[in-house]
Amino acid sequence: MPTFEPKDIRNVILLGHSGSGKTSLAEAILFGGGAISKMGNVGEGNTASDYNEDEKERKCSLSSSLLSFVSGGIKVNMIDTPGYTDFVGEIVGGLRAVEANVVVVNATGGVEFGTERGHKMSKEKGVASLFFINKLDKEYADFDHCVEAIRKRFGKNCVPLAYPIGKESSFSGVVSLLNRQGMDKLSEEEKAKSKFALDLLSEAVAETDDVLLEKYLEKGELSADEIKGALRKAFAEGKLIPILCGSSTGDIGVKELIDVIVNHLPSPADRPKCEATNPANSEKVELEMNPSGPFAALVFKTLSDPYLGQISIFKVFSGKLQTNSGFYNVTKGAREKSGPLFTLVGKAQTSLESIQAGDIGCMAKLKETDTDDSLGDEKNPLKLDEIRFPEPAISYSLKPKTRMDEEKISTALHKLVAEDPTFKTTRDEQTKELIVSGMGDMHIGMMINRMKVRYGVAVDMGTPKVAYKETILGKGGSQYRHKKQTGGAGQFAEVWMRIEPLPRGGGFEFADEIKGGSIPGPFIVSCEKGVRGALQSGVLAGFPVVDVRAIIYDGKTHPVDSKDIAFQIAGRRAFKECMQKARPVILEPIMDVEFVVPEEFMGDIAGSLNQRRGRVMGMEAGDGSQTIKAKVPLDEMYKYVNEMKSITGGRGTYTMTFSHYEIVPSHLAQGIVDVAKQTKAEEAEA
């Protein structure tokens, strides 16, 4: 494939609600653009973009895919994305690489959550929008209702560029309002409605340009050429949002969509300059889409291929890269040798001699490079702003089923994490559990399935243990004597200790108030070792102890039997006795949680948080949504994502970060103690 100039490239992402027909539309566009000779079918599992086995099995997209083709001398890089909320990270990454989107709307469902999400995310990223009303050949499909809903929800600058011929089973084609051809095929009612749509288009275009507005006010209409001439600039600036229509499976309206993508959507050259940072001096640099500029690219997606290994997909924002050359990974500070450059149509590859500003390309088997890494020139390194992927919302603990699985699990998880930045793994130091986190049950389930199918690793999943801690509310004292005689050298140590609480987050302090040398210095150190050992397992349920000060103030020694181990034991047991007398309690982690939900569900979410011991700290109104800030115990949040989806119909999201520890209410503490003791007993039996 030849190298294309920025003005001759269109980078487009397909967005929309699950089931709106994005993958089928991508297939129809590839067929119409000449990239494939025959259209595949989602039901048969032979589409270009849904090529993974789990996607074929579920008959839906689970990850984004790159689909490149050339039409009319223009290179189109199209990214097909999943519609399920669990895979929103695929959309976030893809939006960083495009200048325009096609939001696919199901004609039988109208504006759904996925429609709103796609348009809102695109608007936030400055990406031009286009709506395609799909499935007009289905029962209950209603073009006029969809247009009305789109204009009501997203603004009066959303205007039709096409009108359908016929309805439902009689739907047979579309009339382009740009070319005004095929109007004679419309019924009288349809002609009147299409004339109204054309008036909306003319008026909206006129309002984007003062000269056109003057002409429109004089004549009451604009010519087809006048409308076409203003569209691209109006789309790029977001002043106009076109609405097209058709049926992807019936291959109707797709030709008109390709025409708008190629001739009217913005190119990389139409977009504003982007900013990069020189890591050497933190100086900001404005980058133009110039092939002669310094090389700067960003990896926005990583794939795992069974034959090629890891494939890095990147967008070039400045400069040029030759195949089989090399580059500098600015993020990692490492030099990389690149192999052949190529582009993709699903999993099918097409070789590239070079790639330059504005284009999207791929490289395989890079040793240092991951998603979100900036690529550049070592002599003039430029780091692009990182992609802000959403934080995971749900976690599970993993336990390998066999010893063989245990040995392979780290490698498998590392590859899956590299492929999807919203999938994360951690090892909890306190509970010793391996924790995986993702955007929802479906997301986690897909990753666990891929781990089994691709890497042969089987695991058991469970709810993670909460990292509880223990502390004290009062003071306690102990005078503990350790004495052991076994025939030979004995053990003797006597420790007088008291403990007192520290402020929350104070950790642990050890104080020495020994006077007169009743315990020599080396044995005081031994006492501290013993106490620190006791901190690992509290007296209530065996959780780590925090926010305590231990003071050793007296004791006794034996000239022969006193030794390090004796004072370690005495220190540990004295501390335990002190804990029992100092009103021990259990602490639980409290999380700062920020919810973004549609306004109509605000009361329901606040009510459900109250039932989960959450405290609403504040609310902020947004564009049709409310942001609720709350503090919620971690134990209540592990599976809250499913409840929130149920309440909001999948339209709510949340992010969560650790805040602090608080005392567990007394009516819940005993249950936690009982579970901990039962677990300990089961582990002892095993």
Reported as a single tens digit per residue, the pLDDT across 171-195 is 999 998 888 777 778 888 888 888 8
Distance of CA 301 to the CA centre of its chain: 12
Q: Given a cut of 70, is residue 210 above it in pLDDT?
A: yes
Q: What is residue 148's predicted lDDT score, i.e. its pLDDT?
A: 93
CATH number belonging to domain 6-270: 3.40.50.300
CATH 3.40.50.300 maps onto the chain at 6-270
Q: What is residue 613's predicted lDDT score, i.e. its pLDDT?
A: 93
The H helix count followed by the E strand count for the chain is 17, 35
Helix axes 521-534, 564-581, angle to 10 degrees: 50
Q: What is residue 609's predicted lDDT score, i.e. its pLDDT?
A: 92
CATH 3.30.70.240 maps onto the chain at 588-668
Q: What percent of the chain has pLDDT over 70?
A: 99
Q: Which CATH superfamily is domain 394-462 in?
A: Elongation Factor G (Translational Gtpase), domain 3 (3.30.70.870)
pLDDT in tens, 264-318: 999 999 888 889 998 888 889 999 999 999 999 999 999 887 777 889 999 999 9
Distance CA 346, CA 215 (A): 47
Mean pLDDT value across residues 360-366: 93
Distance CA 366, CA 312 (A): 8
Mean pLDDT value across residues 624-642: 85
Angle subtended at Cα 394 by Cα 390 and Cα 395, rounded to the nearest 5 degrees: 120
Burial of 543 from C-beta contacts in 10 A (0-12 / 13-18 / 19+): buried
Distance CA 23, CA 153 (A): 25
Q: What is residue 640's predicted lDDT score, i.e. its pLDDT?
A: 83
Mean pLDDT lowest among 58-72, 251-265, 426-440, 490-504: 426-440
- List 374's β-bridge partners, or say none: 298
Query: H-helix or E-strand containing 65?
Result: strand 65-71
Mean pLDDT value across residues 27-51: 89
Distance of CA 550 to the CA centre of its chain: 45
Q: What is the DSSP string of 365-401?
A: --SS--TT-EEEBTTB--EEPPP-PPPP-EEEEEEES
Assigned CATH topology for domain 588-668: Alpha-Beta Plaits (3.30.70)
| Residue among 58, 78, 96, 88 nearest 11 (CA) | 78
Burial of 89 from C-beta contacts in 10 A (0-12 / 13-18 / 19+): buried
Helix axes 188-206, 210-219, angle to 10 degrees: 140
- Per-residue pLDDT band for 623 (boundaries 50, 70, 90) equals low
Q: Given a cut of 60, is residue 509 above it in pLDDT?
A: yes
**Residue 655 DSSP code:** E
Mean pLDDT value across residues 43-47: 86
Q: Given a cut of 60, is residue 686 above it in pLDDT?
A: no
Mean pLDDT lowest among 96-110, 423-437, 542-556: 423-437
CB proximity list for 646: less than 8 A, separation 6 or greater: none
pLDDT in tens, 586-622: 999 998 888 888 888 888 999 999 999 999 999 888 7
Backbone angles phi, psi at 333, to 5 degrees: 65, 40
364-401: string of b/e by CB count within 10 Å (b at 16+)? bebeebbbbbbbbbeebbbbbeebebeebbbbbbbebe
Burial of 306 from C-beta contacts in 10 A (0-12 / 13-18 / 19+): exposed
Q: Into which CATH architecture does domain 274-384 fall?
A: Beta Barrel (2.40)
> Length of the chain, please?
686
Distance CA 10, CA 100 (A): 8
pLDDT in tens, 309-344: 889 999 999 999 999 999 999 999 999 998 899 999
Q: E strands, 485-599, where?
A: 491-501, 508-512, 548-556, 584-598
Mean pLDDT lowest among 210-214, 456-460, 546-550, 552-556: 210-214
| Residue among 488, 427, 485, 471 nearest 662 (CA) | 471
Assigned CATH topology for domain 469-582: Ribosomal Protein S5; domain 2 (3.30.230)
CATH 3.30.70.870 maps onto the chain at 394-462
Distance CA 313, CA 303 (A): 8
CATH 2.40.30.10 maps onto the chain at 274-384
Q: Given a cut of 90, is residue 559 above it in pLDDT?
A: no
What are the Cα distances from residue 215, in Å, to 81, 220, 591? 41, 8, 59
CATH 3.30.230.10 maps onto the chain at 469-582
Mean pLDDT value across residues 208-213: 84
Q: What is residue 295's predicted lDDT score, i.e. its pLDDT?
A: 95
Q: What is residue 487's predicted lDDT score, i.e. its pLDDT?
A: 67
Both structure tokens of 304: 């795992």
| Residue among 326, 433, 439 nearest 379 (CA) | 326
Pairing mode, strands 348-352 and 173-176: unpaired
What are the Cα distances from residue 247, in Å, to 133, 172, 264, 526? 8, 9, 21, 79
Angle subtended at Cα 89 by Cα 88 and Cα 91, rounded to the nearest 5 degrees: 65
Alpha carbons within 13 A on the beta-carbon side of 629: 8
Query: H-helix or E-strand containing 443?
Result: helix 441-455
- Per-residue pLDDT band for 516 (boundaries 50, 70, 90) equals confident
Q: Write down the pTM of the prediction.
A: 0.80
Q: What percent of the chain has pLDDT over 90?
A: 52
Mean pLDDT value across residues 552-559: 91
